[in-house]
Chain A
């Protein structure tokens, strides 16, 4: 129960996040650079948790999370962004995701704090 999918359009971030999380004991099972491929990867790889960037080039992270929620038992979704949570106002609190982590705060412990089961 520690597989993770990283959906983010910045390749440098994906590399660093993967290294950081793997060093922290997680198994990064896949990466996607936009919303559509992220949806496909989530449906095929069935990760325990999806790290989902809000600012994707094709879909917003909020929309990808909503679409994943339609699939049935959804994977746990944690939204990430280089903006702060406050800049999304009520949209963030209303979205059906596990939580939000600012990118610079990303770490294994931050994820475990949100999802103790992962």
Chain B
């Protein structure tokens, strides 16, 4: 299992690469974490090498006509083009993927091809050198076909196949054993067939992103093998393969196309990185977890890609659907990239190992996931806090209501009952005394009874201010009607039914009407007001309108702010329409929670 973990100091979040081992304590340790390397510009050494190769080819091109008696040949021109395509593709590949051997190998093939030009020079050892370089270039072509784009053999079959092909080819071409000379075309045909099979096998067995980048390379392999096959047939049947012949032209054009296959293969992963970068840029709004996974999988061409978010409760990485993401134990095709925050796990991406070929790509994927996870974390935190605040505000209002109700009940059961008793006792005394006593005593008793009655009235008024008993005893409609009845200016009431609501709903509605009418009486200079209650399926609308001066402003301490707060506590809203000189209309919308509707 390939596991990546490494610090990303800029974001405080970790992402990276390194093989994961268990340390002595049995914990996962991440030895020598490696950061994804940024895309490098060509180093000085590399630049010098590329310039050297180009210079060598130039020398070969200039020297070739001299070596051939001063006559430039079509043969030489074609080899210049052939070498140039390899050099260009090789240096681009090397620049894009500095740690991948494909680029340098293409350069070397280009150089080897150019050296063939010198083959006709009248130097004793030059023939051996050109033959060696041509053979090396061909063997390198076999190698690069079997290791690109990863830069290493992905299976033992490929490694053994390459060795067999290389040794066979070198033997046939360099040693040229006499007993094999007749079988040469057949051997070349066999070599090309085996090469083709190996390349197609690699492509067939690869999956996801690997297959995407292998496609053009497999095509290059097919061209290479076809050229070999064609050459073996032309040798076997004596078909001319000289400059100007059809076979020679097909051979040259085909060879020139091969390096672009490699380049396309290398670029495929880079295209994926660009796709991720675009994806991250386009994710203006918070992507849903499953959307992120789908987008990453699609952009990377890895349908099996999984994104898991660490759940401390479950002690596992969970996918968007809540199922645990299984981390492959030992799988050469699946890699695990872990994202950490302050040493704590945040998320994990399980992806095709091919993505490891481009560290920048994994960094881009990490950034996309990090963005989502951080967004999600922040959104979830804010939402949780909001929910908590909303719930606690509701609880505070309910607790306040309950407490007021309790105080009203205590007054009713205590002081009020005693004053009632006192009134009765005084009346009883009055009855028992009859007319037998001094009228002054009777008068005192009457005064005492009047005082008791006044005290009781004041106490009732106080109790109603604390909590209106009528709300509990008779419901919202009668309670609103009683508010209207006590108003100093005439108030008409509409929709005051006997319907009962949950205490927070009817308490809030009553508070709205009470405060609204108090405002009308205090500020509106109105001659008439109206209250309208309207019940809809999940909402109670309370409307208080007057014909006063309007211009009500919550910021002037008119009690409207208290209304807004009180309504917000039950997720309600308040609309205020108060144009100057045209009266005021308050409209409160109070949500009715499910099952809060009580029988009348």
Contact = CB atoms under 8 A, between A and B. Distances in A.
Nearest to B475: A89
A20 B424 contact: yes
Interface residues on B, range: 20 to 34
Given A17-B424, A104-B423, A107-B427, A89 B482 contact: yes
Interface string B458-481: 001000100011100111011101
A23 B456 contact: no
Given A82-B412, A83-B412, A86-B482, A104 B419 contact: yes
B424 A84 contact: no
A16 B427 CA distance: 10
Interface in B131-159: none
B427 A20 contact: yes
Interface string A88-108: 111100000000000111110
Interface string A6-42: 0000101100110110011000000000000000000
B421 A90 contact: no
B194 to A, nearest CB: 100
B452 interface: yes
A71 interface: no
Nearest to B472: A87
Given A12-B421, A13-B420, A82-B417, A90 B431 contact: no
A39 B417 CA distance: 24
A104 B431 contact: no
B474 A16 contact: no
Nearest to B456: A104
B425 interface: yes
Contacts of A88: 470, 473-474, 478
Contact of B474 (A23, A82, A91, A106): A91
Given A89-B470, A105-B423, 12 more contacts: A13-B420, A13-B424, A16-B424, A20-B427, A83-B469, A87-B468, A89-B473, A89-B478, A91-B478, A103-B424, A104-B419, A104-B453
13 contacts: A13-B424, A19-B428, A23-B431, A82-B420, A86-B485, A87-B464, A87-B468, A87-B474, A88-B474, A89-B481, A91-B474, A104-B420, A106-B424
Interface of A: 10, 12-13, 16-17, 19-20, 23-24, 82-84, 86-91, 103-107
Interface of B: 412, 416-417, 419-421, 423-425, 427-428, 431-432, 452-453, 456, 460, 464, 468-470, 473-475, 477-479, 481-482, 485, 498
